[in-house]
Amino acid sequence: MIKPTESELEILNILWAEGPSNVRSVNEIMNQQKEVGYTTTLKLMQIMTQKGLVERDESSRTHIYSAKIKAEDIQGEMLDKLLNSAFGGSASKLVLSALGSGKASAKELEEIKALIQKLEKDGNQ
Amino acid sequence: MIKPTESELEILNILWAEGPSNVRSVNEIMNQQKEVGYTTTLKLMQIMTQKGLVERDESSRTHIYSAKIKAEDIQGEMLDKLLNSAFGGSASKLVLSALGSGKASAKELEEIKALIQKLEKDGNQ
DNA sequence: AATTATCTACGAACAATTTCGTATAATTTA
DNA sequence: TAAATTATACGAAATTGTTCGTAGATAATT
């Protein structure tokens, strides 16, 4: 699978959140965080099309782009990379670090607990 | 805080694992994975010194480098970045993805469960 | 003491990524 | 319909990161 660069990932995130979009609206969302020229975003999205990261509907003048890869796939891959590059392969260290920062809500903690219980049950069979 | 590049992170990992080291030994460990010239590693470590990522003891001809930042700090920072760049800020999605890949042992799952319980308890007070 | 090995410093080539200017075409507005 | 706006395409500059060659100093070996 093709690995997106930093900027490409930003765009993918927008497409995942917003669904199929044109360059202008992607660029506007990008600009909420940092200033980026329109043609910069355009160029990136063109490159992403070439790489097969996004799909482009050219039926009208304003092209519509949509993410071609699933968020989960990239997430899993990047997580794996981080796991090995920064956490020495220890998933628990990573999880502990993630939970420790206090970013998960009570409901989310429940979800995680439920998954752990399931994993433990399956593991014992 | 300064964000290390890919290569710099590799070196930091070695320094975290091995403790204070000279360029040669870092380079040798690097070479176990991929071929890298000695001066390449040297240059990287010099740059890292400038950036303040490592500290250098110059008291003898062969300089000794040690990581200046804690593994936990970088880990937390990189995790945070990944969280926002690839998981839309949802810590639970990240954790679920990490646990789902089956990389955590039974003992690790217990650790995580214990932390969750602690978090839930603290949160209710 | 001369040769060889090992070390740092440093510039610069190379590569990947990001940014944007300019050209050109289509559409909308005045 | 002329002018202004809004698109895409594309080349190339700018930026960032990586790699390494060469020079010069110090230390070890013969």
Tell me what pLDDT residue B44 has.
98
Residues B31 and B83 in one domain: yes
Higher-confidence residue of B22 and B124: namely B22
CB contact under 8 A, A111 and B88: no
Residues A65 and A112 in one domain: no
Q: Do B22 and B2 meet the contact criterion of CB atoms below 8 Å apart?
A: no
Could you tell me the CA-to-CA distances from A57 to A20, A63, A67, A114 in Å, in that order? 9, 6, 12, 41
Closest residue, by C-alpha, to the C1' of C10: B43
Give the number of other Cβ atoms within 10 Å of residue A74's Cβ: 22
Residues A69 and A119 in one domain: no
Residue A116 with chain B: CB contacts under 8 Å: 99, 109, 112-113, 116
Minimal-distance CA residue of chain B relative to A93: B108
d(CA A40, CA B20): 43
Residues B103 and B58 in one domain: no
CA B38 to C1' D20, in angstroms, rounded, equals 9
Tell me what pLDDT residue A124 has.
58
Residues B6 and B55 in one domain: yes
Residues contacting residue B53 through CB under 8 Å, at least 6 positions apart:
B2, B4, B8, B12, B67, B68, B69
What CATH number corresponds to the domain at position A83? 1.10.10.10
Residues B2 and B54 in one domain: yes
Among A7, A80, A94, which would you mutate to test the B interface (most chain B Cβ atoms within 10 Å of its Cβ)?
Answer: A94
CB contact under 8 A, B113 and A113: yes
Residues B97 and B72 in one domain: no
Residues A61 and A83 in one domain: yes
pLDDT band at residue B124 under the 50/70/90 scheme = low
Tell me what pLDDT residue B101 has.
74
Residues A122 and A83 in one domain: no
Q: Which residues of chain A fall below pLDDT 50?
A: none
Residues A17 and A48 in one domain: yes
What is the span of the domain harbouring residue B5?
A: 1-89
Locate all alpha helices (DSSP H) within A2-37, ordered by sequence. 6-18, 23-31
Three-class SS of residue A94? helix
Residues B100-105, mean pLDDT to the nearest whole number? 78
ipTM of this complex prediction, to 2 decimal places: 0.82
Residue that is written with structure tokens 């240059």 in the block: B43
Give the number of other Cβ atoms within 10 Å of residue B29's Cβ: 18
Q: Do A7 and A14 meet the contact criterion of CB atoms below 8 Å apart?
A: no
Token code pair at residue A6 = 């930093």
pLDDT digits (tens, 9 = 90+) for B19-28: 999 999 999 9
CA B112 to C1' D4, in angstroms, rounded, equals 61
With helix as H, strand as E and coil as C, how does B11-73 read? HHHHHHHHCCECHHHHHHHHHHHCCCCHHHHHHHHHHHHHHCCEEEECCCCCCEEEECCCHHH
Q: Do A104 and B91 meet the contact criterion of CB atoms below 8 Å apart?
A: yes
pLDDT digits (tens, 9 = 90+) for B53-97: 999 999 999 999 999 999 999 898 889 888 877 787 888 889 988
CB contact under 8 A, A80 and B87: no
Q: How many domains does chain B have?
A: 2
Residues B19 and B9 in one domain: yes
Residues B66 and B99 in one domain: no
Residue A27 CB burial class (10 angstroms; 0-12, 13-18, ≥19): buried
Residue that is written with structure tokens 């209710």 in the block: B124
